[in-house]
Structure 1
Amino acid sequence: MLQVLFIAFLCIVAINFSYFLFFGIFFFSYKERKIENDNQNYIPVSLIICAKNEASSLQENIPLFLKQSHPDFELILVNDTSADETLEVMEDFQRQDARIKIVNVQNNERFWGNKKYALTLGIKKAMHSHLIFTDADCKPKSNEWLSLMASQFSETKEIVLGYGSYDTIENSFLNKMIRYETLLTATQYFSYAYWGSAYMGVGRNLAYTSQLFYDHNGFVPHMNILSGDDDLFVNAAATSKNVALVLEKDGFTKSEPKNTWQEWYTQKRRHVSTASHYKPKHKFLLGLYFASQVLFWLLGAILWIADSNFAYWIIGFFIFKLFLKYIVIGKAAKTLNEKGLLWLMPFQEIVLLATQFGIFVHNLISKPVHWK
């Protein structure tokens, strides 16, 4: 029986290593691009921001969006039935800048609290066919952000995936966990996209064409699912050839992370709840990755307890896995400008796996609530 478990452990080790090689090849082969303003063939774009009770964030961030160097864009602000002064803030900025258009979403019994309904109205309002999305609490990392995202559109590239980072809070383990989880998620979805099998993007930094949106019937196939306006659409619409990536630091966005474990846990519940609606191949591959991470620790512990002779093998594989992971995730962290996350990585991995397992079980028992 122990021999069977050891063979199973070796298989899990091989799967672990295969995934990190899969991720590493992308990040070590990716070469950063620079935007050339003089020669850039600018595509007019519509920047769409959906906001629900985000008056203070909009007051702070709309000026940053309006300062973007891109010469031809409109800013569509969608007020999703806010109860605060969100609409008033939008209207104040609209009076100052003609590029701003407002969509004021009223309560709808059928679609109440559904961000996808509000976003659909914003997309229908767009004058341009190339759409770029972010959130009200997001800040562009530079004035070149919009141009970098727009520059990746072409005749064949209909989806552009960007990176949405979070602010760094010193001496906060929760902040390190949030940023570490965000880094790992980005490592996966960028790598899958590079290999021609994009399965998600993040609404904090995402772009696609309106034609692609209408060709796939928008959000209608999953309108009844509370989250997934970003990843479920990308999962359905992405092909092996129509996705472009932006990993240049000037093309990132940054937003405020959750302040409590409960807030972060609730947010992740919504995100995880969409995974069951991915394409079967993505559910299998992502599920296999998660299972291989859990089983590495579980089988290793069982073998160690059952027979101490296995300890040397387990320690050796653990050190090698940790070494490989530090190289790959370290390269990803450098590319995505995430600092100070690697020194706690083994502990962070255990906490994250336990949290993800708890979310999986919790979502089986009850469904998460509205997006705001």
Structure 2
Amino acid sequence: MILVTGGAGFIGANFVLDWLRLSDEPVLNLDKLTYAGNLRTLASIEQSRHHVFVRGDICDAALVDSLLLEHKPRAVVHFAAESHVDRSIHGPADFVQTNVVGTFALLESARRYWSGLDDASRAAFRFLHISTDEVFGSLSPIDPQFSETTPYAPNSPYSATKAGSDHLVRAYHHTYGLPTLTTNCSNNYGPYQFPEKLIPLIIANAIAGKSLPVYGDGHNVRDWLYVGDHCAALRVVLSDGVPGDKYNVGGWNEKTNIEVVQTVCDLLDKARPKAGGGSYRQQIAFVKDRPGHDRRYAIDARKIERELGWKPAETFETGLGKTVQWYLDNEAWVTEVASGEYRKWVETNYAARA
């Protein structure tokens, strides 16, 4: 069995679904079910005897300790995190609590559990920590891509707290010998992403006839990674990664935000033409930029390909095509996710930028 934290969130849920589709090894899924956690995403495995869901907080040491002792997982795969930059600007305290304090608490529980294992189980145990490329800061248009040795320079409360969690994971390996692994990924997209993030927000707003908000001049650059490719990379790192090491996971798809929005519009024009004619591009609206908005992220993913044999299977075009079609085919999921709290958040965040 493996323990997955945050397994009802976007990337975590995709990982759990893919894991159980490809393996009969059970998953113990621990998720606090904050606004971005959604059990509807896991409806297809609700009755599976290989999926054990527990609602709980990684900061609850007594709960985590008891779960580890009861289920005896061979690995912890740690997704649980607050992850939206804009939310971290408006309310950084939750990010410090979950990303830093929560990771610390989880590491302490994992260390206690690992220390009590027999020699063979100790050697086989892994703690896989999933992080972000945002810990490296911002690149100019001519800077080389982020590598595993790029110095940390986080610029938002979100990225600062993720950087703190990365440092704790590294310290627990070097100080205590805990067999940790860390991945730093680029922007994920795909099915089941909460509609506060760029791509699902644009899809939802477009078909609802709303404006499509683009920060600043729209030329902030991100490397885009299809979530299924990310999950495949994590399985490889968990299986073959070197304890104490870190691996960058990227899609080799650098795109400006305006390019992403325009491409989504073009795909929607073909898949669901507007009733009155015209293009969804007509709904694009540039809004006030976010404070401290990093200009460019770009991942050098050569190490994981060279050492572990992983590279993305999807291009940006194929991955985005699948993503747009999934959202069109699953509007009921989007409707259920878009609760009153979410609508209130969108109004708070974007009304002041219009």
The TM-score, its normalising length taken from structure 2, stands at 0.28
Bigger relative contact order (CA 8 A; separation at least 6): 1
With normalisation by structure 1, the TM-score equals 0.27
Bigger CA radius of gyration = 1
